[in-house]
Structure 1
Amino acid sequence: MHPLLDDIRLVAFDLDGTLVDSVPDLAAAVDAALVDLDLPPPGEAKVRDWVGNGSRVLMERALAEALGEPPSASRLEAAHERFLARYGQAPCVRTRLYPGAREALDGLASSGRRLVLVTNKPEAFILPILRAVGIEQCFALCLGGDSLPRRKPDPLPLTHAADRFDVAPSRCLMVGDSRHDIAAGKAAGFRTLAVPYGYNHGEPVAASRPDAIVESLAELV
C-alpha cells in the first residue's frame, strides 16, 4: 500500500477526471444542448477545461463562450435543462475507467477500507455511470453535487461522509484530480492525494500542494 494510506480507514474518490474520463460524453451533451438553442457548439477540447464544478457551471462557461458574454439567469436555466436532458439520454457511451482505477478500488476494498464517492456531478447520473463501467459495488456511499446543500470545494460532503461512518478526518483520504478536490480535502482535515491526468482547468494539480501525487491509481495498492 502507498505510505499515505497508513492508518487511513476511509478513502473518498472524485469521479470525473479521477476514476473515469467522462469528457467525451459531457462534451457531446454540451454540444447538443447548444445546437438545440441555435448556438455554436464548443467541442470536446474546450469542455475538457471547463468540467469539475458541476453541470450548471459547465453550461455557464459554455454559454459565455458561445455568446461572448455572461448569460442571463433565464438563459442559463434553459441551457442547463437542455444539457441535463441530453446527457441523461447517453451518460456513458464513451466514458471509460482510467487505467489503474479498478485495481485501486479492488485493492482498497479488499484491505477493509471504506470507499465513498464524492463528485460534483448531479446525483442522478452517478449510478448509471458506475454500473456501465462496473464499479457500482465498490462504494458504501455516493454523493453528488446536489446531494447536500454545499459541494466541493466546500468540505461538507467529506465531513458528512466521515461522520456517516464514524471515522476521524485524520484517518480519511481524499483522492482527486483538481484544486477543488484538494481544497475540500484540506478543509475537511483529510489527507489529500492527486492524479495529474484529469481535469484541472489547464493548471497543474501540484500547485494545490496535495500530500502526494500518483501517476496511476494503481500505485495506491
Structure 2
Amino acid sequence: MLSALGYPPVNCSQVKGWVGDGVGSLVRRALTTILGDVPAESLIEQSYVLFQRYYAESVYQDSTLYPGVHETLQTLKSSGLALACVTNKPSRFTKPMLEKSGLTGFFGAVVSGDDLSLKKPDPAPLEFAAEQLGVPLTACVLVGDSTNDIRAAGAAGIPVLWATYGYAGRDDIEQDATHGAIDTIFQLCECLQVAG
C-alpha cells in the first residue's frame, strides 16, 4: 500500500506495532508514522481501499500455522468443547484465511472485526461468540496472543490463556495474576484439563 502511494517501505517490526485494532487503525497508524502528522481523510480512504485490495490478494501468502494447531483443535473439539474464533480482522479476510489453513471446521462460531459495531478489547465480540455457541460466557476461556485479547477477556470477566509464542511476545505483555500463559499450543489441552 505504502509503495503504491509513493512512500518508502517499512520493516515488519514497525507494522507489528500498528496491528491489532482493525484495518482502519492499521492504515491510519501507518500513514501517521510515514507522514509524521495526521493524514487527510481522503488519503486514509484511498489507502484503505488499496490495503484491502492488496491484502485480499495475499491473505494467506507467507502464512504458516504453528506446529500442532490442527491436532490440538481436533483434540479440543473431540472432547466436546465448543470452539470459536474471535478476531478484529474483517470477515472478508478471516473466512478465506481459515479455509486456506484448514481451520474452518473446528469452529462453531467465527466473529470477525466487522460483524459487530465493537471490536476487541470491548467484550461484545466474546459475548456474541458465546451466544452463537450456546454456552454461558462464564464457561468460556479466551486463548489469545495480544493485549486486546487480554483486555477483552478482562472486560468480559473470563479467564484468559495468553499464547506467549504468538503475535505479542513475552516482552510485549506484562505477566500478572489475572491470566495464565502457554508457551506452545501443545500446553493448551493440559491447561484446559482435556485428555489428548
Pick one of 59, 70, 77 that aligns with 1:102.
70
Deviations 1:77-130 (CA, angstroms, capped at 9, x unpaired)? 111110000111111111111123223211111111011110000110112111
Match of 2:166 in 1: 198
Match of 2:106 in 1: 138
Q: Partner letter of residue 161 of structure 1?
A: A
CA-based RMSD of the aligned residues comes to 1.8
Partners of 2:162 and 2:172 lie apart in 1 by 10
Q: Report the Cα offset of residue 134 of structure 1.
A: 1.2
> Normalized against structure 2, the TM-score is what?
0.89
8 A contact 2:142–2:159 mirrored in 1: yes
Deviations 1:40-71 (CA, angstroms, capped at 9, x unpaired)? 12132311222111111111111112111121
Q: Report the Cα offset of residue 176 of structure 1.
A: 0.5
Deviations 1:159-199 (CA, angstroms, capped at 9, x unpaired)? 11112233222210111011110111121122111011223
> Normalized against structure 1, the TM-score is what?
0.80
In structure 1, stretches of 5+ residues that fail to align are 1-32
Higher relative contact order (CA 8 A, sep 6+): 1
Partners of 1:96 and 1:44 lie apart in 2 by 16
8 A contact 1:174–1:192 mirrored in 2: yes
Q: Report the Cα offset of residue 135 of structure 1.
A: 1.1
Match of 1:56 in 2: 24
Q: Partner letter of residue 145 of structure 1?
A: G
1:163 maps onto 2:131 in alignment: yes
Q: Which SS does the other structure have where 1:149 is aligned?
A: coil
Of 169-178 and 41-50, deviating more is 41-50
Percentage identity across aligned positions?
37
Aligned residues: 189
Deviations 1:193-217 (CA, angstroms, capped at 9, x unpaired)? 1011223398532446542100011
Match of 1:39 in 2: 7
Partners of 1:202 and 1:114 lie apart in 2 by 28
In structure 2, stretches of 5+ residues that fail to align are 190-196
Residues 1-221 of structure 1: matches in 2 within 5 Å? 33-200=1-168, 203-207=171-175, 210-221=178-189
